[in-house]
Structure 1
Amino acid sequence: MSYLFWLRDEPHRVRLAGVLAEMLSLPADAVDVGTTEDEDRNWEAAVLCTVTAIGGDLRLHLDVYVADEVPGQPSPEAAAAWLAERLETVVAYQALPIPPDAFWIVGPDGERTRARIDDEPDENDVSRYRIDAVEHPVAAMPGPAVAAVPEVIRHYRLPTPLAEGLRSRLDPPPATGSAAWHAVTHLAVWEGMVARLLAGWHPDGWYPPEFYREDLETRDRLVDASATLPDAVRVEFEEVLATVDKRFAEVTEDDGGRALASATGPVPDRWWWHRVTRPLPWHSMPGR
C-alpha cells in the first residue's frame, strides 16, 4: 500500500521512522526514510518513506510505500491520525483524486475536518501549500478560515439505477448533447439528488442551498423532456420520473418555498420548489 501525507512540521527522520515502525508493528530498521537524492537508501526495506521539503502552511511531504507482505496495514485515515498523534503535528491527506485541492486534515487530538488546500511553486520551484479553508477549527492550527468546502460533495456520486437502466435500453444510444441524451442525463441528476437526500445528505450530512436550487432547476428541465425520447421508452421515462418524484415528495414537506427563497432568492411556482427537508439540508453547513 502507498500513502501520501503532508505534515505541518518536519520531524527528525529517526523519530519518523520509529513512529512508522510502531504503527506497523515492525522493528525500526525495517523502515527507510530519506529523500530522492540520498544515495544510501535501503531499497529492500519493508517500508520506504520518501520525504520532500515543501513550503507554506505545510512543511513536509511523505510518500510512504509499505510492502504487500506487511500485515495489518491501516487505512489512510487511521495512518494519518496515528502520525498526527505520535508526531504531535497536523497531518493532511487527499480526500479524493478530484478535485485536487480536497483534503482531510487531522490534528494531534484526532479531530478530523475537510480542508481546501492550494499549492503552487515559489520562485525556487518549491511547492508552497496554503490551507485556504477548513470546515471545522483545528486546535493545533488556528489560522485557516473556517468555511464550507462544498465542491467536494458532487464528486461523491450515488448510484442512479433507474435512469441508467433507462439509458441502457435506448437503441440506438442518443448522441452526446442531443435532446434525448440531456433528458436521461437530467433524470440521472434528479435521481442522484433524491438518493443523496435519502442517504442523509451523503457524504457529510449537509447540502448547500445553491446546490439544492440547481437540482430543482434540473427538475424543471424534465417537465417536457419525455417528448424528446423514442416512443418505445417514453412511457418508461415518465414512470421513472414519477417514481423519483414520489420519493422526493415522501421525505419533504411543503413550506411554500420560503426556506430556499430566503437562502437563494425568489423561487418558481412549481410544487417541487415548495418542498424541503426538515431539518433543512443546509442547517449544519459549516460556516453558516
Structure 2
Amino acid sequence: MTSAGIYDVYLIDSLDLDRLHAAMCEIAGVSGDDVDIDAEWHEGRNSDAAALCTYEPFDGDLTYYLDFYMRTVELSEADFAQRLSAHLRTPVVYAAESYPPSAFWLVEPDGQRLRVRLDGREEGETWLHLIEAVERPVGLLPHVPVEAQPEVIREHRMPTPVADGLRPSAGPEKVTRKAVSGLAAWEAMVVRMTSGWPPDGWYPLEYWQEDLATRDELAADLAKLSPDLAETVAAAVTMVDDTFRAATQEIPGVSADKAWWWHRAPEPPPWLNR
C-alpha cells in the first residue's frame, strides 16, 4: 500500500461506535469531520472522507464485519488490526494467509496474537460465522476448542535454491522430474528446520515422518536415473543432506533397517513445542 489502506477485519464482541470513530481519527491522523461510518453504503455518505468504515452485524462467533478505506494510512493489515484492537479494547480478527482460507489471526488489545480457524454453517435461514478452533484460550470464546493449527505450515513456502538450480536441466523425463521434486520437498524441510521452523516455530511429528519418507523415495528415484543425471542430482542431494546432518543429532530407538536420516532429529524436537 502506497497511498491508501483497505482493510477487512472482524470482531467477536459488541461494536462501540464512539470508540471506533475515535480509533479511526487517531489511526488516520484526521479530525472527526473527516471520518465516515455507517452500516451500509448510500448516497448520503461522505465518499471524500479520509477514513471510511462500513460495518455489518454477523451471527455466530464473529459478531461484526468491518470494511475500512483509510485514504492516508499505509499500515500493514497486522499493524492496523493491532492498533484498532487497542483502541476498541476488544479482539480483532483478520486474514492470515490467502490459503487455506480458514486461516486467520486474532489480535488482542495488549498486542498478543494467536491463530484461529474460521468456519461457517447454515442454521435455518441464518448463516453462522464461526471460529472452529483457537491456538490458545480466548476469554470471549470459552466454548471454542483450543487446537494447534498445522495446516498453515505447509502453505508457508520455503526457498529451495538447490533444487531450483536443477530444474532447467531436468528434462522432460518423468523420473527425473520426480527426483527433483522430491529433492525440493526434502530441501524445503531442511531450510525450514534451519530457519527456526516458520511460520509458527513448530512442526508436527507427522509432517517430520512424511519428510523422512520423502527422502526414502528420493533415494529410490536416484537409482532409476541415467548415470550422468544421477551424479548431478546426487551431488545436490548431498548438499542438502550435509545441512540436515549438521542441524540434527543421533537418536536412539530407531530400527536398524531404517536409512540414516531416520536415526537423526533436531534438538529440541519441534513437535514438542505444541
Could you tell me which amino acid in structure 1 is paired with residue 236 of structure 2? V
Match of 2:146 in 1: 146
Matches within 5 A, 1:115-194: 115-126=116-127, 128-171=128-171, 173-174=172-173, 178-194=174-190
Match of 1:276 in 2: 265
Q: Alpha carbons of 1:13 and 1:224: their partners in 2 closer, same or farther (altered >3 Å)?
A: same
Distance 1:100 1:120 in 2: 15
- CA shift at 1:39, angstroms? 3.8
- CA shift at 1:12, angstroms? 3.8
Match of 2:39 in 1: 35
Q: Is the 8 A contact 1:206 1:282 kept in 2?
A: yes
Matches within 5 A, 1:60-139: 60-67=64-71, 70=72, 73-126=74-127, 128-139=128-139
Q: Is the 8 A contact 2:182 2:217 kept in 1?
A: yes
> Structure 1, unaligned stretches of length 5 or more?
259-265
Distance 1:271 1:241 in 2: 14
Residue 89 of structure 1 aligns to a residue whose secondary structure is coil
Pair 1:236 & 2:232 matched: yes
Distance 2:188 2:80 in 1: 32
Pair 1:224 & 2:220 matched: yes
Q: Alpha carbons of 1:283 and 1:140: their partners in 2 closer, same or farther (altered >3 Å)?
A: same
Distance 2:220 2:205 in 1: 25
- CA shift at 1:256, angstroms? 2.8
Q: Is the 8 A contact 1:257 1:273 kept in 2?
A: no
Q: Is the 8 A contact 2:16 2:88 kept in 1?
A: no
State the superposition RMSD in angstroms: 2.1
Q: Choose from 16, 31, 51 the match for 1:47.
A: 51
- CA shift at 1:234, angstroms? 2.6
Residue 283 of structure 1 aligns to a residue whose secondary structure is helix
- CA shift at 1:109, angstroms? 2.7
Distance 2:170 2:102 in 1: 37
Residue 271 of structure 2 aligns to a residue whose secondary structure is coil
- CA shift at 1:165, angstroms? 0.9
TM-score, length-scaled by structure 2: 0.91
- CA shift at 1:140, angstroms? 4.5
Distance 2:159 2:256 in 1: 28
Distance 1:196 1:43 in 2: 46
- CA shift at 1:119, angstroms? 2.2
Pair 1:20 & 2:15 matched: no
Distance 1:91 1:129 in 2: 14
Q: What CA deviation, in whole Å up to 9, does each residue of 1:134-162 have, x standing for no partner? A: 11222444332211000001111110011
Distance 2:96 2:154 in 1: 13
Match of 1:211 in 2: 207
Could you tell me which amino acid in structure 1 is paired with residue 21 of structure 2? A
Q: What CA deviation, in whole Å up to 9, does each residue of 1:179-198 have, x standing for no partner? A: 22221111100000000000
Moved more, 130-139 or 31-40: 31-40
Could you tell me which amino acid in structure 2 is paired with residue 49 of structure 1? C
Distance 1:257 1:26 in 2: 65
Q: What CA deviation, in whole Å up to 9, does each residue of 1:222-269 have, x standing for no partner? A: 1121244455533210001011111111111111355xxxxxxx8962
Q: Is the 8 A contact 2:99 2:155 kept in 1?
A: yes
Moved more, 133-142 or 150-159: 133-142
- CA shift at 1:169, angstroms? 2.0
Q: Is the 8 A contact 1:7 1:60 kept in 2?
A: yes
Q: Is the 8 A contact 1:94 1:104 kept in 2?
A: yes
Identical residues among aligned pairs (%) = 40
Match of 1:263 in 2: none
TM-score, length-scaled by structure 1: 0.86
Residue 44 of structure 1 aligns to a residue whose secondary structure is coil
Match of 1:8 in 2: 12
